Amino acid sequence: MTLRSVLIGTGSALPRNAVSNAELAQRVDTTDEWIVERTGIRNRYIAGPDETTGTLATQAGRKAIEAAGIDPGSVDLIVLATATPDQTFPATATIVQKELGCNGGIAFDVAAVCSGFLYALGVADSMLRTGMARRALVIGAETFSRILDWEDRTTCVLFGDGAGAVVLEARDDGNEDKPRGVLATRLHADGDHNQLLYVDGGPSTTGTVGKVRMKGREVFRHAVTNLAEVLNEVLAEAGTPVAEIDWVVPHQANARILDATARKLGLSPDKVIVTVDQHANTSAASVPLALDVAVRDGRIKPGDLVVLEAMGGGFTWGASLIRI
Ligand code: UT7
């Protein structure tokens, strides 16, 4: 018997308030042309005072549970990836657990910034395959707008808020030829680069939340190399040729990174799910948000071979191959 983590539902949530580049240009020294040309971003959603990482995560989680058609009480594991928790503690996952009525199971947060969802998925998949849990809600949720320096045009135009979620169930689908579920995951970190993308505060240093700081050009260079490498690793581990991939769901940081990575791998751009134009970079939320968009609009279908990838602060990066 081979237990695998099968994806049985997806969901996502965005704040009510959409902010276009033109609106941003009224408060920051930037232009729509610069943002579109350098990043592909046209719009982002910004949380209002009553919207938090926890409320967005709860909405996304509820939709994923509804799509899976399961009782929330049967979810015995919640792993929530975020760099912008509601509070330093308790974990935002426990807020979601309470709101959704998934009480009694395991709930914790994972901090790997933009790669957070890949890390959360990797942890949940390991726990499901070893029998520690049976049904997992894996969430990526962020309110990066709260840690942006709105005076720094090199960062504040790039990010947005949102949440995405998936439900995974431990199953042996009996199909050894084309099994459904998470087939391979590879995760990496390299702390030597943690000063290229970081927050300049924290509970144990400044006692403040801090603001995002980034050396964008250097991050860009590492991103393309690391993402192409980890995608090749995950495909090699699963013995899957690149030509068999139906869809790539990348971390949505910059349209130019998506294009360059696809080119490096020899992947057609029409196999890449792109939402960066609408959502901007939502950090840990970006991969599950893009996945949910493509599942709900019918592009990603049951049986499709999908690869997820992300890279972020730390540096951390990773990829996961899933048959839907
Ligand atoms: O999610 C984690 C992973 N994060 C990423 O992957 C982000 C990776 N990096 C990037 O996406 C890109 O490096 C950026 C979009 C952040 C920047 O694009 P770039 O082409 O690397 O631009 P740059 O930083 O080299 O800046 C070029 C020019 C500079 O002016 P000078 O020095 O050439 O006169 C900047 O001051 O663009 C200027 N600039 C802006 N101009 C208008 C920087 N930000 C802005 C802005 N509006 N918002």
- Checking if the pLDDT of 1 tops 90, the result is no
Same fold, 4-171 and 181-323: yes
pLDDT at site 285:
98
Between 140 and 264, the more confident residue is 140
Total residues found in the chain within this entry: 324
H/E element holding 183?
strand 181-189
pLDDT at site 253:
97
How far is the centre of ligand 1, averaged over its atoms, from the C-alpha of 217 (Å)?
A: 7
Annotation: CATH topology of 4-171: Peroxisomal Thiolase; Chain A, domain 1 (3.40.47)
Percentage above 90 pLDDT, the chain: 96
Index of the ligand 1 atom closest to the CA of residue 281: 1
The DSSP string of 205-235 is TTSS---EEE-HHHHHHHHHHHHHHHHHHHH
Residue having the nearest C-alpha atom to atom 45 of ligand 1: 154
Residue having the nearest C-alpha atom to atom 10 of ligand 1: 216
**Pocket probe mutation, ligand 1, options 21, 35, 37, 38, max atoms within 8 Å of Cβ:** 38
* Segments making up each domain of the chain, as ranges: 4-171, 181-323
Work out whether strand 247-250 and strand 305-312 pair parallel, antiparallel, or are unpaired. Answer: parallel
Residue owning tokens 């840690």: 147
43 contact partners, CB below 8 Å, separation of at least 6: 18, 19, 20, 21, 160, 277, 278, 279, 280
Q: What band does 143 get if pLDDT is binned at 50, 70 and 90?
A: very high
Count, in order, helices (H) and strands (E) of the chain: 10, 13
Handedness of CA 118, 170, 271, 59 (dihedral sign): negative
How far is the centre of ligand 1, averaged over its atoms, from the C-alpha of 34 (Å)?
A: 9
What is the pLDDT averaged over residues 151-166?
98
**Pocket probe mutation, ligand 1, options 24, 118, 142, 154, max atoms within 8 Å of Cβ:** 154
pTM of the predicted structure, to 2 decimals: 0.98
How far is the centre of ligand 1, averaged over its atoms, from the C-alpha of 154 (Å)?
A: 6
Q: CATH classification of 181-323 is 3.40.47.10, yes or no?
A: yes
Q: Which residues are catalytic?
A: 114, 251, 281
- Where does ligand 1 bind, in terms of residues with CB under 6 Å? 30, 34, 38-39, 114, 153-154, 157-158, 216-217, 219-220, 223, 253-254, 257, 281, 311-312
- Determine if residue 101 is left, alpha or beta; phi over 0 gives left, psi from -120 to 50 gives alpha, anything else beta: left
Dist. CA 192–CA 39, nearest whole Å = 26
Q: What is the tens place of the pLDDT at every residue in 41-92?
A: 999 999 999 999 999 999 999 999 999 999 999 999 999 999 999 999 999 9
What is the pLDDT averaged over residues 8-37?
98
How far is the centre of ligand 1, averaged over its atoms, from the C-alpha of 30 (Å)?
A: 11
